[in-house]
Amino acid sequence: MHSKGTVMFDRSLRQKLLARSDLFRGLPEPLLNHIAGHMVERTLSDRELLYFKDDPLEFVALVVEGRIYSVIHGPDGREQIIGSVGAGQVVGESAMIEVLGREASTFASGATRLLQLGRRHFAPLYEEPLFLRRLLMLTMARLLKVIELLELVCLHRLESRLARFLLANMDEIDLAMVLPSVSLPSNQGLLAAMLNTSRPKLNVQLQLWRRSGLISGNLEQMVINDLDHLRRKAYVLN
């Protein structure tokens, strides 16, 4: 289903989107054409699941609009977000590796559009050396991010975790700007799940920093008023 005014992705547009993506860019045109010809469009609403943890590895998807979060759940039901991908990035690439099932559940943040490629169409990709190198590099990069996240949430206090997260996600600093800023999820629950804390605890920490003048603005566009002070909080001994 597509909302009124939504443009369908024809084969040519799909091929252009693939050519700009993190996994498929640079592949030979005939291979991109093959992928584009077999991809299926899918639209998700906010918080709609793309797949569950341990689901069969049936497809890989390219995010065209919106964002997809990967999440695992503890025995008490608490969510821990372990990664996210936006437009131009793929999700579910583990389907291209022989593992038992999905390593995490994934859901959409806001209205999200994707292009899915079923595993029955993977075979030609395995014959392309560039694709195999790209898949290996992407998998390793995401594994390293998960390891960094585990270190962050397991070994540091909330204040340090939040400071490090803001520094890592800081928007590229424009020389004309006086103060750096950070673009974060507008939903505070998502940010709490990324930092392995509760919404009330996160809210208290944010309010303390706002009152002290360290930060200002809202989650969607948070301004860091004292970058050096934030760095000291990020790397203070726990």
**Residues 42-68: tens digit of each pLDDT:** 999 999 999 999 999 999 999 999 999
Rounded to a whole number of angstroms, the CA Rg of the chain reads 20
Quote the pLDDT of residue 27.
Answer: 95
**Residues 154-172: tens digit of each pLDDT:** 888 999 999 998 988 887 5
Quote the pLDDT of residue 175.
Answer: 46
Share the mean pLDDT of the chain.
88
- Residues 232 and 238 sit within 8 Å (Cβ to Cβ): no
Identify the residue with better confidence: 221 or 121.
Answer: 121
**Residues 157-216: tens digit of each pLDDT:** 999 999 998 988 887 555 455 678 888 887 888 999 989 899 999 999 999 999 999 999
- For the cut 60, the answer to whether the pLDDT of residue 6 exceeds it is no
**Residues 80-125: tens digit of each pLDDT:** 899 899 999 999 999 998 767 899 999 999 999 999 999 999 999 9
- For the cut 90, the answer to whether the pLDDT of residue 32 exceeds it is yes
Average pLDDT over every residue of 126-154: 90
With bands split at pLDDT 50, 70 and 90, how would you rate the model's confidence at 35? very high
Lowest mean pLDDT among 25-39, 140-154, 166-180: 166-180
Quote the pLDDT of residue 41.
Answer: 95
Domains and CATH numbers, the chain: 11-155 (2.60.120.10), 158-234 (1.10.10.10)
